[in-house]
Every structure is written in C-alpha cells, then in structure tokens.
C-alpha cells in the first residue's frame, strides 16, 4: 500500500507597512547631472608638466639637457601626451627606430608612410631614451656647448642637427617655452613658482560645437578657412593667447551665427 503525505503551507498574514517606510519606498533617487567640460590647452599642459616636469629636471641634472627644451619637445611631439605614439607606444619625442634599436616598435605615418618608431613600457623610459639619444650622437655634440639656460640656441641647434624636418620647429619650441614659462624649470626656484601658477577656466562645450583635431601642417588660418570662421574666434573660444597649436590638440569650433 502506498502512503502519501501532504505538506500544508501556512502563509503568514501580511504585516502592515508604516507610513515612514512607505515614504521611503516612494522617494525618488536623484542622479547627478553630468556636464561635459572641455579642458583648455593650458590645463592639459599643466597636467603634463605636473607629471613630467620632475622627470625632465632629473634628466637635465644627469645629461645636461635643459628641462625647458625637453618639456617643450615632449609637449610638441606627443600632442601633450595625447598623440598616437604617446598613447600606444609611450613615445613622447617621436624618436624613430634607427639602426641598432632592439626594443619595441610600432609603425606610424610621419614624413613617409609606415615609419618605424620606438615604443616603451613607461613614458619615463621615453624621457631617458631622449637624453641618451641626444647625448650619445655626434651630430648633437655641439648643443652641449650652449648654456643650459640658452633655450633659444638649443631650439635652433636641434633643427640644424636634423632632429626635425619642420622649418618652423625652433620657433614652435621657443613659443611653447615662452608661453608656458618652461625656462623656469631650468632653475630650482623657478619650478616652485611654476607649480603655483593657475590657468584659465575650462571651456564648456555646447552641443552644436565641432571638434577639430590638429594634424601636421594645420595652422589657425587654414582651420579658420575650413570652417568659415575667423582666427580670432577660434583663439577666443579656446582661450589661446597666441597662434601656437600642436599636433593632436583638440580645438572647439563654435557654431556659425
């Protein structure tokens, strides 16, 4: 004979909910609004200097290369750390592979298509390699006869030695050094003063604004013509104090009125 058992389910009576608990359940959770804020170029540069300024000074003490020159080259060559070589390869100085390089490498279009560039595990290695690169090659030897505070001579000398093919390379370096007072990094007292410097407020991007990423060969004049606005409008909208722009720099283009 089969026997079966029946399990009786006893349901408890629902408990009354207090008014206090009811009000908590109905209370909406406020989600903070996220506002898109566009950093100015000055703020990007300051962040770059905060990170790499001490490294550039340490390299200056060991290899006698002005920290102002090293930082200006890093800002220009890496697009303030936002260029592809810097992001993917930690290469902040655009140093190509050259004969005898056994480290990491990546390929990038520069003077020619698919050129070989060095890569590093850390940006600090790029700074060290930059120092070794300049101090270890005979064509740069004359630079070390200049005073470490003579950044103008160093800027012109780098172009003369063939570091870059851009005829405006010295002017760009000098403009960056003067604009951001990088010459202060060549002295201990100056670095302390520079670290307290504040920059302009961030640019708030409107939904109608376009973003132009600066490419090699771009000028404010060519960009202004492309978008049918004036150079002064671009400078004012992006808080630019002069016409110096960098590869990889993002410029906000205001909507035409």
* CATH number, domain containing residue 230: 3.10.350.10
In a domain, 30, yes or no: no
- Say if CB 233 and CB 224 are below 8 A apart: yes
Q: Which of 166, 195, 224 is the last residue of a domain?
A: 195
* Total structural domains within the chain: 2
- Residues 78-90 as b or e (16 or more Cβ within 10 Å = b): bbbbbbbbbeebb
> How far, rounded to the nearest angstrom, does the alpha carbon of residue 4 sit from its chain's CA centroid?
77
- From first to last of the 257 residues of the chain, give the pLDDT tens digit: 444 444 444 455 555 555 554 444 555 555 554 445 567 777 889 999 999 999 999 999 999 999 999 999 999 999 999 999 999 999 999 999 988 899 999 998 877 888 999 999 999 999 999 999 999 999 999 999 999 899 999 999 999 999 998 999 999 999 999 989 999 999 977 566 554 454 445 555 566 778 888 887 888 999 999 999 999 988 888 877 778 787 777 888 887 76
Shared domain for 170 and 100, answered yes or no, is yes
Shared domain for 147 and 65, answered yes or no, is yes
* CATH number, domain containing residue 83: 1.10.530.10
In a domain, 140, yes or no: yes
Q: Where are the alpha helices (DSSP H) in 11-122?
A: 19-26, 41-63, 67-78, 84-89
Checking DSSP bridges between strand 37-38 and strand 203-204, what pairing results, if any?
Answer: antiparallel
- 187 CB neighbour count, 10 Å cutoff: 16
pTM greater than 0.85 (yes/no): no
Per the structure, the complete domain to which residue 228 belongs is given by 203-253
Q: Which of 195, 211, 240 is the last residue of a domain?
A: 195
């Amino acid at each position: 004979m089969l026997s079966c058992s029946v399990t009786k389910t006893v349901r408890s009576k629902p408990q009354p909910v207090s008014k206090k608990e009811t009000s908590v359940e109905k209370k909406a959770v406020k989600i903070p609004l996220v506002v898109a804020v566009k950093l100015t170029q000055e703020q990007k540069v300051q962040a770059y200097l905060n990170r790499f300024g001490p490294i550039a000074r340490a390299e200056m003490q060991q290899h006698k290369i002005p920290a102002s020159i090293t930082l200006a080259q890093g800002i220009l060559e890496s697009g303030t750390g936002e260029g592809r070589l810097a992001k993917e390869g930690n290469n902040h100085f655009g140093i190509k592979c050259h004969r005898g390089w056994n480290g990491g490498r990546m390929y990038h279009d520069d003077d020619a298509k698919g050129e070989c560039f060095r890569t590093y595990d850390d940006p600090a290695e790029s700074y060290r390699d930059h120092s070794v690169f300049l101090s270890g090659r005979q064509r740069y030897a004359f630079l070390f006869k200049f005073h470490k505070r003579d950044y103008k001579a160093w800027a012109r000398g780098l172009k003369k030695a063939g570091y870059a093919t851009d005829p405006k390379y010295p002017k760009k370096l000098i403009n960056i050094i003067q604009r951001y007072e990088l010459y202060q990094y060549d002295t201990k007292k100056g670095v302390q003063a520079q670290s307290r410097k504040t920059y302009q407020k961030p640019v708030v991007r409107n939904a109608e604004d376009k973003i132009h990423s600066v490419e090699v060969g771009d000028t404010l004049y060519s960009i202004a013509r492309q978008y049918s606005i004036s150079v002064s409008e671009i400078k004012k909208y992006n808080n630019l104090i002069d016409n110096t722009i960098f590869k990889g720099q993002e410029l906000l283009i205001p909507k035409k009125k």
